[in-house]
Structures are given as structure tokens and as C-alpha cells.
Amino acid sequence: MSLAQAVPGPGSMQLDGSRRSGVACRIIPRLDIKAPQGLVKGIQLEGFRKIGDPAEHAVRYYEQGADELIYMDVVASLYERNSLEELVSATAKHIFIPLTVGGGVRKVDDIYRLLRAGADKVAINTAAVRRPGLIEEAARIFGSQCIVLSVEAKRQGAGWEAYTDNGRERTGLDAIEWVKRGCDLGAGEVLITSVDKEGTRKGFDADLIAAVAPRVRVPLVASGGPGSIADIEAAFRCGVDAVALASILHYKTETISTIKEGLRERGLEVRP
């Protein structure tokens, strides 16, 4: 079920005022990077198709009015490396909005190097699952606001299992419980990606967002599945603080400008 199917029409459902009242909806392009191809896009985190130069897309999305950007190295954990420092440094010279970087972050020094290169926040998934104490250590050193818990969730029976290595490896962890534990350890934001919905353009996973949103008191970013402005609206009305968008932008179904205008017309507050 998509969020657009799950949520009634505009004005019939309000945001959770206890968590998000007065907070503008954030639109965040997500740029998945696979060296040496550059910017890529897949379906369910597989079968990547080359899109183009990530730096050029980043500048274009910035000029369209993106609130933040996400760079994610989609093979970094597989090859146990992080190769985005140079790209981050180059991007930071041309865009002036928060930049989240993830993929292949294994230790505190990796976080330090990415922040020094120009990242504002660093997303951790595989290494956090392997050593949850990394979240607590990083939050203590850099501040919770710099640490994003990235969770790749795949439906398993009545719930969801957390996956690592860009949706390749099972962890045995209940994704919802892992989100809660990661926040308790100090993560200042959660990026929740539905592996099942990712790249399908059939809408966000309504049930997943509904399960996660009440469990966290930090900003929640939903990723995976939107194909229309209605899908994006529905995610915000179900309690997320931001949406991470890829296909809908990369394939020019919508621009950030048209998305923000559409959300305003539906009564949602967005940033200029």
C-alpha cells in the first residue's frame, strides 16, 4: 500500500502537532554514487543505471531550491572504502545548503574527514549495525545533529528487517526496534529507506512510515518510492519531516520548484 492510497485528501488529516507543528517540510534530493559511473539510480537498490555527473545534478537541484542534499556511496561498504571526500569538497564550494554524506563510514576518523571536506551530517548504516557504540561515540564527539542513522528496511512477514551494504545483507534486526535503539544511542536524525519501494515510483511505504514515526523524536527522513507530488504530500501528512527524492527528480518527472508549489497548493508549509 502506498501513502497516497492510505491518506485521505488534502486537509482531511493533520500533521502530528506534538512533533512537527510549525516545521516546514524539507525536500532533499538523494544522489546515489557508484564509482566510476558517477550518479546512478536503481530499483530496490539493484540494477543501477548511470544518470550523469553528480556535481552537476547537485548544483541544479540547489538552484531549483533544494533544502538539503544527500550523497550516498552505494558500494562503499561492499568494498570497505569511502571515496566521496573529493566530491564533497568540490560540491561544498558551489552549494550552500546542508549536505549529508553516507556509505563506507566505518570509524570516527571517517566521519571527521567527511565533515572536514564539507559535509554537515554523516549517515551511518553498516558500521553502526556491526558496532552500535559507534553512534554513541560519534554523537559525543561531533554532536547528535551531525549523525544520521541510515536504515534500509525490507518487509519480512508482519514487520521489517534492517539490511546493510545497500540492501544486500540481512542483519536479523527488527528495523523499527533498531531505529529506536539508534536514536537512544544518540543519532540526531533517521533516514529510513524502504528497499521494497525504492526506485519503483509507486509511492512510499505507508505501513513502514506509520510504524517508525511514533517511535522517534528526532527528524525523520523517508526515502524510497515516490512518483508524484501526491505521494510526497502523503508522506508529510503521515509524520515525516523530510523526503529524500531521486527518480522523480533525476528523470525530470517533477522539479523541486514544482514539488514545492504543489505542496503549497495542498496546504503544506515548505521552505522558499
Paired strand residues for 39 = 33, 52
Report, as residue numbers or ranges, the catalytic residues: 32, 152
- Rounded (5°) CA angle 112-113-116: 85
Q: Residue 214's closest CA among 173, 179, 163?
A: 179
Residue with cell 544520521: 148
Rounded Cα distance between 201 and 179, Å, is: 24
Q: Measured between alpha carbons, how far is residue 180 from residues 11, 58, 145, 154, 172 in Å?
A: 30, 31, 16, 17, 15
DSSP classification of residue 67: S
